[in-house]
Amino acid sequence: MKVLVYAVETKDSRRAWWSVAPEVDKRYWKNVAFREGVVAGWGEQAAAKPARPEGVVALKERLPLGIAESACSRLAELWKSGSYSSSMGDDMRAAIRAAWEEAGEAERSGAESEVELWDHESVSEAGFEQGRALAVQARELAERLRGKSLLQAELTAMLGDGRGFAGEIMQVMQLAALLGAVQMYPAVTPAGSKPVRFRLRHGEGKPAALRCGRCGSGEERLRRTHCASCGRWCAYCEACLTMGRCRECALLIVGLPAPDRPLNREGELPADRLADRWKLSPAQSTAAAAALAFMYREPRKRSLSPFWKLSSSSDSRAFLIWAVTGAGKTEMIFPLLDAVLAAGGKAAIGTPRRDVVLELAPRLAKAFPQFRHTVLYGGSEDRFDAGDLTVATTHQLIRFRQAFDLIVIDELDAFPYHNDPMLHFAAANSRKRDGTTVLLSATPPSELQKQARRGKLAHARVPVRFHRRPLPVPKRLTVPPIMRWLQRRRIPSRLFKEIKESVRRGAQLFLFVPYIREIEPLVQCLRRCAVGFDLERDTIEGTSSQDPDRGGKVTAFRDRRIRILVTTTILERGVTIAKSDVFVLDADKPLFDASSLVQMAGRAGRSADDPEGLVFFAASAWTATQKQAARQIKEMNAYARRNGYLSSE
């Protein structure tokens, strides 16, 4: 995209702009009747009338959006410092030359720099009506963009509903930007850091470091290709490419933040009343009450760190609910959602996986039927909507900017959210400045655990499941590596004995392995031993992320048509079996970190009918990672016992 750069001089100041629809800017600054019509159409909320310009100077030719943004930023710094030259045109030419040079394209620095003065237009009744009509549409557009951050193509898709925007959307959008109700940026902008070197295909350059304005990714995730739209070697972001291409010359449109909705303190119920109202256990209600109290407190001074460097542990508006697997995390957030929604605010639940979104959506719709719900994931029809309560994959949060009073991040330690700066950026940016982020996890990253233990991260622990029985502690089972005994086509006797005992007691078995390639050989080996387990061969199956029938096999496992399921960590979360035992084979492999081991162990003992399910870490070595996982589980049991959360029965 190319835009027009112009500058306005008033009695006291100068200001530079770039425009996607310069015919609107020209009429706004040079046609009094048009501007009065804009004020009339915008209504009582209209911005104050701008000072009458003494002069408006514009380039004759349009510039690539990235160059125009850089030039306008340079002019703003120059004029803010009071360094005025006698001619705005001279300042503009100098800024444009510098912008080209900074981009590593000095050979183009003398081009496209002829300027012209804008003359006053004649005043007419038609000008007034045109201004009024355009302002009405601009106000509607600004309202629909509140709390959103969209590329131009996404905006066009959002407005594709026959409401009359499509034909003149650029004019409507430009007027909304002039009135300060919408902000427009290049999708990839200068990062504000020192320049970095890279090799352009047409030569050497030293361009300014860039950053994706939508997902926050830096130079390491940017690539440059020749762009037909702007004629440059234009940078684009590969980190958020699946959500639409962000380029230096692409337009990013950001609406104003959603209105603030102060919480009604009557919703801050004590733990005992929360337990009665929401049918929570003592541990659940205590955690929910602590999170509510945190939400109601006055916001602290915000961190001065750049927003893309803000971590959960340094965010003064983040609260961690550290709850064991099967503790009922969803039920614990019901009081928090109720407090925000009852106050007229907006809440969002972000989770890394689409299947969790589809599972949560009907539960939340049933719990809060009086509010408008939005369900967002790749391919969902309402991907541009923002209901009162939004359930979304964390990728979808990238389309929001300061939209939600409450953001709940479920399974923050799970792929792909864990260790993905883009998704952390999206979650942080989608929350209002004084809103609250609630982090849910059974296995928080080690850094968050440290911050919580040191009192630097507000948190609550839920160390027990709803049946109030201790978590099953993993037992060590010393066996050779899988591939060794698979080659011998013989299951180690100790492992055979424990599998047979689990089957005898009526349990269903998760057998977790590190690698997909081990699943089928292990299934065949187990089937050869099916008679010894007193099982039918077809009750032993395997699945992985590459299995097209994974969903069907999980359903069969839930229905007890499958008794032993060999799988990878793809099923370490989200699958609950009433009576199950867990075997983690080759548990000493580096692929299994402590978090994964705890999650896999968490598949056992989830039911009140079988709270003492069995967990075995089967490996040739007892590693520090296995010890750490077992220690975490023991610590939660000890914490539950100290606080009286365990049942005495």
Q: Is residue 469 part of a domain?
A: no
Residue 398 near residue 214 (C-beta atoms within 8 A) = yes
Decide if pLDDT at 494 tops 80.
Answer: yes
- What CATH code is carried by the domain that includes residue 493? 3.40.50.300
**356 and 484 assigned to the same domain:** no
**423 and 316 assigned to the same domain:** yes
Phi then psi for 350, rounded to 5 degrees? Answer: -105, 135
Decide if pLDDT at 297 tops 50.
Answer: yes
Domain edge (last residue) among 413, 436, 462:
462
**175 and 218 assigned to the same domain:** no
Check residue 293 and report its DSSP letter. H
Amino acid making up residue 515: Y
Amino acid making up residue 601: A
Question: pLDDT grade, residue 201 (50/70/90)?
Answer: very low
Decide if pLDDT at 470 tops 90.
Answer: yes
Region 589-612: what's the mean pLDDT? Answer: 93
Q: Which domain holds residue 563?
A: 475-642
**174 and 195 assigned to the same domain:** no
**269 and 176 assigned to the same domain:** no
Three-class SS of residue 232?
Answer: coil
Instruction: List, for residues 162-184, the tens digit of each pLDDT value.
Output: 455 545 889 999 999 999 899 99
In this prediction, residue 210 carries a pLDDT of: 85
Question: Which of 218-227, 440-449, 494-503 has the highest mean predicted lDDT (pLDDT)?
Answer: 494-503
Question: pLDDT grade, residue 434 (50/70/90)?
Answer: confident
**Residue of 285, 374, 394, 396 lying closest to 335 (CA atoms):** 285
Q: Is residue 198 part of a domain?
A: yes
pTM to 2 decimal places: 0.85
**171 and 209 assigned to the same domain:** no
Phi then psi for 379, rounded to 5 degrees? Answer: 95, -5
Q: Is residue 468 part of a domain?
A: no
Euclidean distance between CA atoms 207 and 220, whole angstroms: 14
Q: Is residue 422 part of a domain?
A: yes
Q: Is 505 left (phi over 0), alpha (psi -120 to 50) or beta?
A: alpha
Please give the tally of structural domains in the chain: 4
Instruction: List, for residues 544-582, the tens digit of each pLDDT value.
Output: 999 999 989 999 999 999 999 999 999 998 788 999 999
88/315: higher pLDDT: 88
Domain edge (last residue) among 433, 462, 491:
462
**238 and 277 assigned to the same domain:** no
**200 and 63 assigned to the same domain:** no
Q: Is residue 260 part of a domain?
A: no
Question: pLDDT grade, residue 262 (50/70/90)?
Answer: confident
**37 and 130 assigned to the same domain:** yes
Min mean pLDDT across 4-8, 571-575, 589-593 is at: 571-575
**195 and 173 assigned to the same domain:** no
Residue 567 near residue 597 (C-beta atoms within 8 A) = no
Q: Is residue 61 part of a domain?
A: yes
Q: Is residue 647 part of a domain?
A: no
**326 and 429 assigned to the same domain:** yes
**396 and 488 assigned to the same domain:** no
Domain edge (last residue) among 462, 488, 521:
462
Q: Is residue 617 part of a domain?
A: yes
Distances (CA, A) of 434 to 260, 301, 404: 9, 10, 10
- Which residue matches tokens 């010393």? 478
Min mean pLDDT across 50-59, 109-118, 210-219, 574-583 is at: 109-118
pLDDT over 70 percentage in the chain: 89
